[in-house]
């Protein structure tokens, strides 16, 4: 069985059961002028993950392995948006309001879509999720089961919120989870560092972590 060099120890995997999960590389989070920036965040922090994420995505595509993309977004009528989420922090612009890229985090709006640099290819599954985790109120788990997957590599934003939440959900469901450390970012670098530490602590209590070059090296055999 091949092994990817990782923390806290090597990540063993079977190629036939390996998949890539790209979390929330959405315009409203990553591009200047989007929702993330209106909240006072520096989106250049997230954009730093794009080159490594591109290399990782290309490696999985070249290997013919399954790729999943997620988008955090809600129905236009907001029926799947709890008031506690919409109102938290009393932001000037809330989910569902008109923002610089259309209605904020609403399915089908430009800002909720994935950035061009990492846009899904035909046949790649896109999961629209109303929560932080990709398993909640979606068919993500069914897609993984139907493809016989067991080992999941994660990239995306932000590390401490939607990426970590989905990894923990996957870990609870028995999946082996590997975080691509340079293909994930946070608006707050210290939050990313703390999240990686939490994931690999206690013998990999949530999963493993390594950089994209080591993942690509293993995929290339």
Residue 178 lies inside a defined structural domain of this protein: yes
Q: Which of 129, 132, 177, 192 is catalytic?
A: 129
16-57 residue pLDDT tens? 999 999 999 999 999 999 999 988 999 999 999 999 999 999
Residue 88 lies inside a defined structural domain of this protein: no
Residue 87 lies inside a defined structural domain of this protein: no
Residue 37 lies inside a defined structural domain of this protein: no
Residue 107 lies inside a defined structural domain of this protein: no
Would the pTM of this model clear 0.75, i.e. be above it?
Answer: yes
Kindly report the average pLDDT of the chain as a whole number: 97
- For the chain, what is the domain count? 1
Residue 132 designated active-site = no
Measure the CA–CA gap between 140 and 65, rounded to whole angstroms: 16
pLDDT at 89 over 90: no
Residue 56 lies inside a defined structural domain of this protein: yes
For residues 19 and 147, the answer to whether their CB atoms sit within 8 Å is yes
Q: For residue 42, what are the contacts with CB-CB under 8 A and spacing of at least 6?
A: 187
* Domain, as residue range, for 155: 13-27+42-76+115-219
Residue 51 lies inside a defined structural domain of this protein: yes
For residues 129 and 24, the answer to whether their CB atoms sit within 8 Å is no
Residue 127 sits at the vertex; the CA angle it makes with 123 and 129, to the nearest 5 degrees, is: 170
Q: For residue 84, what are the contacts with CB-CB under 8 A and spacing of at least 6?
A: none
Measure the CA–CA gap between 21 and 18, rounded to whole angstroms: 10
In order of 12, 67, 104, 184, 185, the CA distances from 188 in angstroms are 31, 27, 22, 12, 8
Q: Which of 28, 73, 128, 162 is catalytic?
A: 162
150-176 residue pLDDT tens? 999 999 999 999 999 999 999 999 999
Q: Which pLDDT belongs to residue 90?
A: 75
Output the domain CATH number for residue 69: 3.40.50.850
DSSP string, 142-155: HHHHHTT--EEEEE
Instruction: Give 82's Cβ-side CA count (13 Å radius).
Output: 6
Residue 182 designated active-site = no
Pairs from 146-150 (Cβ < 8 Å, separation ≥ 24): 147/19, 147/66, 148/16, 148/17, 149/17, 149/18, 149/19, 149/66, 149/175, 150/14, 150/17, 150/174, 150/175, 150/176
Residue 162 designated active-site = yes
Measure the CA–CA gap between 25 and 76, rounded to whole angstroms: 20
Measure the CA–CA gap between 16 and 149, rounded to whole angstroms: 7
Residue 106 lies inside a defined structural domain of this protein: no
115-154 residue pLDDT tens? 999 999 999 999 999 999 999 999 999 999 999 999 999 9
């Amino acid at each position: 069985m091949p092994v990817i060099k990782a923390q806290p120890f090597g990540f063993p995997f079977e190629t036939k059961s390996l998949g890539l999960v790209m979390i929330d590389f959405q315009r409203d989070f990553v591009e200047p002028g989007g929702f993330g920036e209106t909240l006072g965040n520096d989106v250049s922090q997230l954009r730093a993950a794009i080159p490594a994420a591109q290399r990782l995505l290309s490696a999985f595509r070249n290997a013919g392995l399954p790729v999943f993309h997620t988008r955090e977004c809600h129905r236009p009528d907001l029926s799947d948006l709890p008031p506690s989420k919409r109102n938290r922090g009393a932001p000037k612009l809330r989910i569902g309001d008109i923002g610089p890229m259309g209605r904020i985090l609403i399915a089908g709006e430009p800002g909720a879509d994935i950035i061009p640099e990492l846009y899904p290819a035909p046949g790649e599954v896109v999961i629209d999720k109303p929560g932080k985790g990709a398993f909640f109120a979606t068919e993500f788990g069914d897609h993984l089961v139907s493809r016989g997957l067991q080992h999941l590599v994660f990239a995306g934003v932000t590390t401490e919120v939607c990426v970590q939440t989905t990894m923990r959900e996957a870990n609870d469901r028995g999946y082996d989870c590997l975080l691509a450390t340079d293909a994930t970012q946070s608006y707050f670098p210290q939050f990313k560092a703390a999240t990686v530490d939490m994931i690999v602590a206690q013998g990999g209590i949530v999963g493993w972590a390594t950089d994209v070059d080591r993942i690509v090296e293993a995929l290339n055999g």
